[in-house]
Amino acid sequence: MSNKLHFLNYAEAFESAFDSDEWAAVAEYFAPNSEYVAIDGTRAVGRDQIVEAFRSSVDAIDRRFDERIVRPLDPQLREDGSLFMTWEILFKKQGAPDLRVTGTGAATFKDGKISKLVDRLEDGVGETMAAWMNEHGSKLA
């Protein structure tokens, strides 16, 4: 399986796990000693820590909204086999304007598994999120 296809399958498994809260299948896309760097710079090492970081993140933010629309945009496989893509998440909450969050993801692979995944927000998005939360965060359950 190509690295690009592996990553796209991982992304599908992530969305299924988000819906079901069953994360075991997501772990299988990562190498045992893989690393994840979240948008806030925190690091998780190993499958268990990575899955817990994902679960904690979606519980703290994503699940508090009424709707979450994820759009992976233009995944590009690089010559070294790594993958880079931009992404967009549109969060919807009744009584509040939509919150659009954009960022990038970069994945490296070893032996057909993700060995490192780094997510970053695009410039200015953190400030936009903070302003949205200050004004509308009280609407989140």
pLDDT higher than threshold 80 for residue 38: yes
Structural domains of the chain in order of their starting residue, each with its CATH number: 3-139 (3.10.450.50)
pLDDT higher than threshold 90 for residue 1: no
Give this prediction's pTM.
0.92
Closest C-alpha among 74, 62, 72 to residue 99: 62
Q: What is the dihedral of CA 5, 12, 27, 30, to 10 degrees?
A: 20
What's the CA angle centered on 52, arms 18 and 86, to 5 degrees?
Answer: 60
Given this model, what pLDDT does residue 75 score?
87
- Give mean pLDDT, residues 112-129: 96
Given this model, what pLDDT does residue 12 score?
94
Given this model, what pLDDT does residue 69 score?
96
Confidence of residue 129 (pLDDT cuts 50, 70, 90): very high
Q: Is 84 exposed, middle or buried (0-12, 13-18, 19+ CB in 10 A)?
A: middle
